[in-house]
Every structure is written in C-alpha cells, then in structure tokens.
Structure 1
C-alpha cells in the first residue's frame, strides 16, 4: 500500500509551497484526486530517530553516506506535500544524540542561552508542525535538552514525562511539556470547499528513560506508563474539540497485550479509544515492512496497528514515514474512512550499490554547515596508536579486538576507581558488546580502524553511545546467567546439521555482551535459556560450558565486580538479576571518554583478541553468518574459530561458514 504526506501548515512557508505545488503538474495521491464533497485527504509525514544526522555523512568513517541525513529526507518533503491537498509534518523523537556532531555540541561547544542546536536549525527549515521526545533526548541531561528545545520553531509535546511523583490522576501530573497540542487548520474537500478541522497531536516517551538515564533524571523527573497516559489525555483532547487525534509514539511495535510500562507499547497504544492514527519509532525499522509480517495486532499489508493507520519511518533520515487519511465530515464530525501507509526511502540498492533517490536540500545543509565543519575537525584529532587493526566484522562469532579494547579500558578504569574502597579485593570482570555489527545498519555498518593513529572518530566508532561507566557486584552464578542471556543471540543448532543460520536476527547485537576476565564456551546444541526479554524459556538449558576464572571452574557463590555501562546496570536489555540494586559504582565519565583516556595512558594499545570464549565443537556440523565483504581480508586473523568464505548474501553482505 502506498501513502504520502504534505503539511497542513498555517506558516507562510506552507502557504507559498502550496501555491507552487498547485501551479505545477503534480500527480495527486488518489485520496486527493478522488475525494468527494465532504471528503478530504489528510497526509501525515513523519521523521523519526534522526540522531543528529543532518548531513548525509558518516563521521565515524569520515566519508559521505547516501543512506542517511535529514538534508536528503527534506528534499522529498516538498514533493510529497505537493501530492496531497492537506498535510502535516511531525518528528517522533531521538533527534538530539547519536553521532559525533551531537557529542561535539554537548561536550565541546556547549549550548548557551539563545544558541540554536544544528539539528533544530535544520528542522526549523522544514516547518514542522509538532514533535515529541525520544529516550536519547535525555542523554546529556535536562538542562541541555531544554536549551535545545527552546530553539525549536514548532511545539514539542510529551504526555508522560513528569516533574516529580506521579499523581493519582494522570491529568494532575506536573509535566515538563504540554501533553498535546490541537492545531486549527483548514482542509479542502473534493468539491474544493474549505472546512475547519482541529488536529490533535499527543506524544509519548518510553518509561525506561528512568533507568537508562537515571544519572540525569533521578530525583528530577518521572515517567508514566504510555498507555495509561493516553487513556487519561486523549478523552480530554476530544472534549476540547480535536476532530482527529494522532499519537506520536517514540515506542516500538511490540506485543499486542498490554503490560505496565512497556518499552515498545505502540500496539496497545494504538488501541486506545479516540486515537485515529499513530506514528512510531525507537526500533530503527520501517513499517509497513517485512519485519512486521505475522505480528499480533498488526496488519502489515494495510499499514494498520490495532486497526489504526500507522507508520515507522526508519532511522537517521533513511525514510519519510507517510500516512494518508481519507477523512469524511458527517454530522458535524470528521472520521477516517480509509488509509494507506508507507515508509518512503531516500535510497535504493542496486547490485549491492547504494543509489541515492534524492539530492540534498541546500537550505538544510546551510543551517548546520558551520557545526558540520567543526565536527569534522573534532573527530579527526589523534589520541594515540593501535598496534593492530580494530574491526567488528566477526564480533558476533569470535572474540574481537574492537570489543576487547573497550573491555580493557573499562577494567583499567574500574580497578583504579575501586582501589581505595571496600571492593578493592574483589576480582574485576568487564562486559562489553559490539555496537556496529551489520544487521539493520547494512553491509558497511562495522567498525574498521586500521593499525596506527587512533582519532576521536575511531573511538566514537568503537563506542557509539554516550553511556557512563558503572560497576555491579554479582555472584559467579549471576555471571553465568549474564552470559546465558547473551548467548540468546545464537540459533539452536542440531549436531550434524549443515549450514544452519547462526545468528538470531531479532536479538540486538548491543545485547551480546562478552565478559572478559573469565573463559567459557557456548554450546549451540542447547536451546537458549532466556528469551530477549529475560524470561527463562528453557530453565534447565545450559549453553555456557567450562566457565572458569583463573583457570578454575567458577564458584557460583564468589563475588565479582563487573564493569559495564549505565544502560546495562540499570536493567537495559532485561538481563537476569542485573539492576540498580547491584550497582556499587557510578562513574562521572562516559565509557567513550574512558576509552580515550586509556589510549592516551597506554600511548600504543595492543587489544589483540585472546579467544577467552569459543564454541563447543559439534562433529560434522556447520553454521553460516553474514558480515561485510571487507571481512574477507581478516579471515586469517580470527582466533578460536576457523571461518571460511561462503559466497555472497543479500543486501550487499558476504556469507561465511564456521565448521564446528
């Protein structure tokens, strides 16, 4: 099904663009072309999870990238607006953090009162009607966030972010932002008659921000359950005269059944009475799309979520989310009679090559040009050297140098931090995961730093997120369960099977923690003990074999310090028994800064993989996995497993085989 969008703007910019569109030969969307009297076409355009990607540029690789950038997405907005007689443009959150430009502004340049953040400057060019907050807006703290939001020329709403304790009635919550806005607009029906319409927009953020950014939010903010907030505020929107209500849900398309404080709550949210359409995000996927076939409560073919029109517009500007509504006025009220949805991409793949579908919008580039150039200078600054190349092509199948250097830095840092504390005599382990491991990011989405100078851009490539270091104290048995959870990334493999797919594509690579300081093997013939939400689905399973510390079987009762990040220590990823009650050290430093300091301290690092984890051998058994084509040049360097080239795979990936 196709859907497109165009804004229902009061702004002069919108009016002018409408004039231009009407004077051109434009192919109207069928809803605009065929609407009857008292029927109108309303198009909703969505950006989501921009993560500061204004330019089509990969700062980690220091090269242009045609798969991302608001400047590219922006260039199709005018055309998409022209296809409809009435439209609005919204942003669904996670615009403030996610690439080195975001870190440069937050940590180097800073934000003074009156400054306009480059991503906001770029968004202001496009004339958004509304936006909401994503979880990453909080990564740099509330003060920074609100300085940024002050520069927006459009309203931002969030119905479930409170200033303090939750009230008995959600409508009594003291909120940081307005829970919703109602836009008074005019729509033109199929007979050319203008009608007044009131469009309500309400926003939501995952309640998990209270764990993920506890350092910034504890004692200062709170977050209400998404669905309960909607059930409180949507009726009030209707009472205030909203004809159409659109939910801006920075929450993924997850389970159908309601449970309190769901992270991915868009399916039960869409089911709330009074919501007409929903834009989603957070998961970095595109809906409608193949990932959402056979999901309960979702009609992928029709673009419906709980029977309501929905969309998810990719990430980093890769797509523009479009919902087209055919609305009808009856008895003085508007109702949705039909809809289509589409996530329209800015590029396509042809013969493993990325082909740009659109050019840059110059005004968007100009809005962030100065900061783009400053970011380039920032990320090119050397901090040390590496004696070996750092790459993540095999990070999901073997001990890996890009993960190893993070673990070494965390261990170095935590040992120093705890040397004068009550925990000084406990052994220190370190948990780290690969962040760039292909998957949804594509065949080029891998860390690849050659031996030699290491610049800040390379460290940012090793550790993508501005997480802060934390340490937990847990038992040997809890270490085992941590690793059992991580091992859920692998599919079960029957002994004697040939070329079985190794990786479970629904398991995020950032939840595949490798723990250094112990040695262990993973038995693929066993089923996973936990599902991706930390539920024990096979309680008697035991994938982790030969788990040892200092060459001896690990003592289940022995206590260990594990260096990790605030996301994992706060319960992120649903790892069994890992939560804030285990935290014994909260660092003021980001994991990325710790890696930088470690490299500076060492001068030259040598993070050669030590193969502290391997697979249990299975006779006459082979598995396959996909990685970037550049992985082929490193095949001989992998330790602990023999990998061979198995040809080409889809979407530009290469396929590899492991004989177990």
Structure 2
C-alpha cells in the first residue's frame, strides 16, 4: 500500500483495530450507513493476454519467465492478499495470439462442451467480468459465440449455450445485423460484500454494486471484414456509452467501471476512433476506466505530457484508469478510495491512483556496466495442470516438418536492413497473388506485383521477442515464427505515388538524425511500432534518408532499374489489417482492395515452403532498400538482443558494432550510416 493511502487510512485502521473484535461482521442495514464512512477497493485488470497461458515460447520451444498468465495469476493472488476488497476484470484480446490459441481454434477446434484453455486458467482465478477485444473476432463469429458461451443471432452464430468463461462478458458497441441488438450484454452489475469503516472507525460489511460496460475498437469492421461484413454493425465508443449508461445507472450501482479494449488518443474524435479512452473518460458517470489494445502500460512514460492525463498517478481527465500491459506480463491495479457522501459512495480522486505491476522487475544494485538482475515472480502452480494436455498437443503440432533452409532467417536487425525473415513472406505472398489475381481480375494480369511485410517481432516484448529461424529443418513452428499473426492475405491496386507514400509512412520507424550533432542519437523511433515498418520487395529498390523529416525520406525509388513515375500502376500484396486501414497508411482504407484471400498468410507461407522443400539464398530476394549515406559527428545507436553481432556480420551488415551489453539480455549497438 502506498504511503499516500496509508496516511489516509491509518487513523481509521488504528481505531478499527481497537474495535475489531466487536465490530467485525456487523450486518448491513441498507441506508443506515452514515455519511463519512470510507472504503478502499482495488480494481485489478488483465488485458491483451493473447492466450499466453503458460510462460512458454512456442517458437523457440523453451520456457519464457517474462510472460504468461500463470505468472499474472501470482500477482493477482498477492494483490488480493494486500487488498481485502478486490474486483478482477479483463479488457480483451484474450482468446487469440499464441500457437495454443491457433491450435484450439484452427487445428483441432474445441467442441461445444470444452472450455478454451485461457478461460480455464482465468476461471481458476475468479473473474468478475470482461469485454471482447478486436482479436476476439479473428476466428469468426461462430467460434466466438461458441467459446464465450454466448448465443448470437448472427449468421454462423451458435444457438446452443456452449462452455464458456464463468464470468460475464459485456460489449456495448457491436450489434447483430439481423435484429440490431448487442451480440453480448452491453452491461451488467456485479455485487460483492466489502469491508468499510464507519466514521467512528467501526468495520462493517456492506454490499458494493459495480456496474460494468464494455467496448471494442470500431475498426474491427475493417480489420475483420471477411468475418463481420453483413453480420454485425458497430458504433462509436462514446455513442455506445451515451446509449447504454442511462440503463446501467437506472440499476443504481455504487460504481461504474468502463472496460475498453482501446488506448488513449487526443486527436479529434470520430465514431471510428481506434483508441477512444480519452473521450470515454469524459462521459459523465464513469468512475474507473480499464484500457488495453495498445500493448503498453498506463500509467507510464508513454503518455507523459498528454492533455488532461496524469501519467504518474494514472488519471485520465480526472478518472482513475489503468492499462495492464500484454501477454500476461503485468497486472493493472486501480486503488480506489470511496467516501460515503449524500447516501452514496463517491470516489475520492485525490486519494485514488493506479499502477502497473510487472511479473518481472529489476532487482539488486547495478553492476559495473550499470545493469541490474531481472527477477520474475513464480508461476502459480494451479494454472499449468489445467492446460497441460492442450499445451502438449500444440507443441506436437508446431513441430510438423514442412521443409529445409540453408539460411538463417531472423529479425534481429530487420530495422537496419536484414530482410532474411521478411523475404520468404514477401515471396510467398507475391507468388500467391500472381496465381490467383488473374482469375478474378484478368485485366490486372500484367500489372507488376510487389509485396509488403513487416517484422512483427523486433524486441518490443523483451530480448527474446525476435524471429529466429535457424538454418536446417523447417516446421510449422518456423512459419508461425516468420509470420506471427493470423492475418489473411489482401492485395491492393495503387500507383507510384501511392507506393512512395506507403514507404514514406513506413520510414517513420526512424528518428530524424542530425549530422551535426556530436552526442549520441537513437536510430529507432520507439513510438512507431515495428509491425508498421513495412518493407516492400518485388523488383524495387529505394533509399531512406533519415536526416530528412518524416514524409520526405524516400530519395530514390526504382522498379527493375528504372525510376518509378507517380502514375505507374502496381499491385501490392499485404494483409487484411493493413489493406483495410490498419496503421493509418495513406491511401489504404479498404476501397482499393482487388483480392481478399480466404487463406491465412501463415498458411500460405507454410505451403510455399512445403512446395519448395529447400529454401536457399536464390529463393529469397535481397534487401530492397538502404540508408542514404550520412556522415554523423556522434554515434547513432539502437537497442537489440545481446550476442547477435555475428548475425549482423553474416547478413552483410558490416557497419554495425557492439557498444555494450546491458546485462538484461539486451545490448546497445551503433550503426555507421556513412556507408
């Protein structure tokens, strides 16, 4: 408990201690609880678990103590021991995102009577509610209806009430196209008995009614168009809140918690806004806000300086809020102090605050290099036995052989020009479209086909969060490592101007480098996520000048050795997320899609490898871009995984050198941009 809360509660606790024997368990007498009573309640949040139930890396086939719900469960138990009054909620992106999830959804789908592994684990911890994220829709409405135990009046939905989580899921802004009704309950009320203290310090047990209302990002209609078009409709987050909060308030809850699978954005609001948490916090009646989707932590430095946001105490427009990381790496905690005023509970916003508790943290004194040891909480022993059978089956599945490779394919230096992990994806995507597109669009048969891919794993999740497929036998695990997400393939028609705009957007991955600056400069823009750094191949070559401002960095662009004209036609292969507007790339809003494949990109890649059997250098197009030569006075540096300099050298990146190891699995490297 923080010193701030201790100062608040110590007098009450001291007095309560003296009266404990006589006052514990006093009955609740309805409206007799006098004004001036006080209670402390902790709202616990998980989000973006992405079916990472165990602390295990299915791509490297080894334990990974830095993630996994089984460790978050330990934090939950510890928080409950610390706070007598707790509620536990989940903010979505729960059922998709790991090999285990794909196995239970696509390879050997669970039956109606079988509960998903991730829900089994969550049920062991006793949740009070949750919502659906955008990735809940990746496997289709039929699967979602089944595994959540929610009958849905939509095409493909289930009428039967199948095995689902033992807690309510609420979602207010997605409606069935047939009847216009929400596909989940938009809201519900959860009631628990809590301990409170009367003005004289007596402890009393009272019921606390917490209303919850859920929201998912409206762009799901673009991102999962194939699964959702014609079946559901979506409204904006604020509009849904304004529609259903009056109904919820009519139930007279003591508190209202909004569970949003979304982050914070202060750009002008639109009903299609992906991260509308800032605007949702401004809707009257919301006492606490749970966030997600952005795969980061709030409170935290990422949101420092945002208007009307306290990124240290965890307040958004005065409303206590939290975003508890991703992949089971953290637990979000909102500490609410409630005062009894006018016959109702009121949140004391001056005393309430939030924090994110990690499963792993640095401990001990720094060593000579300035680094500290990392210590992770143990896994909760109750979780692994629940999912062991599904876990072992998933491991067997990803070890299915599909071919061989004579080259290492990794993303350790994808940002610096090693495209070995992207080249097979681009080759497989382009081959697929060159075969399929002429069947539906014969008029486009002669248009050049390019392919765009991004390195999904570039260290964002820690020093093990990289793609690394060794030379030798290839398995389905290799394909899943090379293509991390279960996207489907899409192709768009554009022109030379659109191609250049696409590349300019991608080049935002880099900070602007000042050649005259003598001090150290960071190459990578940490606010620009790696999965939005598309690298395009297919006979093109381009140059990125990081000394220039964003939008003016592509200084050379050619196709088959000739300069690309703005009017030159191109087909660019990408995924359904990007083609439909994901990442807000210019010219990509779904309107210029010419092929929306029913096949997943990962499966297309696996079949491409299986067909070739042996992958060598000749099968992979060389890197299609380079940095413009730039002589800089000071070092240009970036953070990567430790002990990987040999990978850079083997890939021909001789302009990279090691600066220092950080002692936590990461290292600082410098890149010489002059050649």
Q: TM-score, normalised by structure 1?
A: 0.89
How far has the Cα of 1:634 moved from its partner?
1.3
State yes or no: 1:629 paired with 2:634.
no
Partner of 1:176: 183
Partner of 1:535: none
The residue matched to 2:105 in structure 1 has which SS?
A: helix
Q: Deviations over 1:190-244 (max 9, x none)?
A: 2221223321011110001111100100100121111111122223211221120
CA distance in structure 2 between the aligned counterparts of 1:589 and 1:243, rounded to whole angstroms: 48
Q: Deviations over 1:584-623 (max 9, x none)?
A: 1111111100110110011111255613200111234552
CA distance in structure 1 between the aligned counterparts of 2:355 and 2:145, rounded to whole angstroms: 32
The residue matched to 2:422 in structure 1 has which SS?
A: helix
Partner of 1:139: 138
Q: 1:430 to 1:616 in 2, by over 3 A?
A: same
Contact 1:628 1:654 in 2 (8 A): yes
Q: Deviations over 1:440-459 (max 9, x none)?
A: x1122111111011111121
Partner of 1:231: 242
Contact 2:36 2:341 in 1 (8 A): no
State yes or no: 1:285 paired with 2:284.
no
Task: Return 50-59 or 609-618, whichever deviates more.
Answer: 609-618
Task: Return 353-362 or 428-437, whichever deviates more.
Answer: 353-362
State yes or no: 1:602 paired with 2:612.
yes
Q: 1:412 to 1:163 in 2, by over 3 A?
A: same
Partner of 1:383: 402
Contact 1:389 1:450 in 2 (8 A): yes
Contact 1:4 1:80 in 2 (8 A): no
Partner of 1:28: none
CA distance in structure 2 between the aligned counterparts of 1:211 and 1:641, rounded to whole angstroms: 42
Task: Return 391-400 or 412-421, whichever deviates more.
Answer: 412-421
CA distance in structure 1 between the aligned counterparts of 2:282 and 2:583, rounded to whole angstroms: 26
CA distance in structure 1 between the aligned counterparts of 2:528 and 2:224, rounded to whole angstroms: 23
Q: 1:449 to 1:521 in 2, by over 3 A?
A: same
Partner of 2:625: 613
How far has the Cα of 1:292 moved from its partner?
2.2
Partner of 2:157: none
Q: 1:3 to 1:390 in 2, by over 3 A?
A: farther
Partner of 2:651: 638
Select which of 249, 259, 262 maps to 2:273: 262
How far has the Cα of 1:379 moved from its partner?
1.2
CA distance in structure 2 between the aligned counterparts of 1:75 and 1:129, rounded to whole angstroms: 17
Partner of 1:10: none
How far has the Cα of 1:462 moved from its partner?
0.9
Partner of 2:417: 398
State yes or no: 1:454 paired with 2:491.
no
Q: Deviations over 1:321-360 (max 9, x none)?
A: 1111111222221111131211111112357677444222
Partner of 2:487: 467
CA distance in structure 2 between the aligned counterparts of 1:139 and 1:245, rounded to whole angstroms: 29
The residue matched to 1:228 in structure 2 has which SS?
A: helix
Contact 1:36 1:189 in 2 (8 A): no
Contact 1:500 1:623 in 2 (8 A): yes
Partner of 1:14: none
Select which of 493, 517, 523 maps to 2:545: 523
Partner of 1:586: 596
The residue matched to 2:421 in structure 1 has which SS?
A: helix
Question: How large is the Cα RMSD of the aligned pairs?
Answer: 2.2
The residue matched to 1:126 in structure 2 has which SS?
A: coil
State yes or no: 1:488 paired with 2:508.
yes
The residue matched to 2:524 in structure 1 has which SS?
A: coil
Partner of 1:504: 525
CA distance in structure 2 between the aligned counterparts of 1:649 and 1:551, rounded to whole angstroms: 42
State yes or no: 1:198 paired with 2:209.
yes
The residue matched to 1:396 in structure 2 has which SS?
A: helix
Contact 2:411 2:418 in 1 (8 A): no
Partner of 1:240: 251
How far has the Cα of 1:422 moved from its partner?
2.6
The residue matched to 1:324 in structure 2 has which SS?
A: strand
How far has the Cα of 1:99 moved from its partner?
0.8
Partner of 1:313: 324
How far has the Cα of 1:73 moved from its partner?
1.1
The residue matched to 1:182 in structure 2 has which SS?
A: strand
Q: 1:617 to 1:218 in 2, by over 3 A?
A: same
How far has the Cα of 1:49 moved from its partner?
0.5
CA distance in structure 2 between the aligned counterparts of 1:225 and 1:629, rounded to whole angstroms: 44
Contact 1:39 1:189 in 2 (8 A): yes
The residue matched to 1:431 in structure 2 has which SS?
A: strand
The residue matched to 1:402 in structure 2 has which SS?
A: coil
CA distance in structure 2 between the aligned counterparts of 1:430 and 1:471, rounded to whole angstroms: 9
Q: 1:453 to 1:2 in 2, by over 3 A?
A: farther
Q: 1:367 to 1:45 in 2, by over 3 A?
A: same
Q: 1:654 to 1:80 in 2, by over 3 A?
A: same
Structure 2 unpaired stretches of 5+: 6-19, 22-33, 150-163
Contact 1:392 1:437 in 2 (8 A): yes
Partner of 2:496: 476
Q: Deviations over 1:385-430 (max 9, x none)?
A: 1110011111011141001111011111111112443321111100
Task: Return 200-209 or 257-266, whichever deviates more.
Answer: 257-266
Q: TM-score, normalised by structure 2?
A: 0.87
Q: Deviations over 1:470-496 (max 9, x none)?
A: 111111111011001101111112234
How far has the Cα of 1:3 moved from its partner?
11
Contact 1:91 1:130 in 2 (8 A): yes
How far has the Cα of 1:173 moved from its partner?
4.8
Contact 1:398 1:641 in 2 (8 A): no
Superposition pairs of residues 536-555 of structure 1, within 5 angstroms: 542-555=552-565
Partner of 1:11: none
State yes or no: 1:412 paired with 2:431.
yes
Contact 1:111 1:147 in 2 (8 A): no
The residue matched to 2:412 in structure 1 has which SS?
A: coil
How many residues get paired? 614
Partner of 2:393: 374
CA distance in structure 1 between the aligned counterparts of 2:445 and 2:621, rounded to whole angstroms: 27
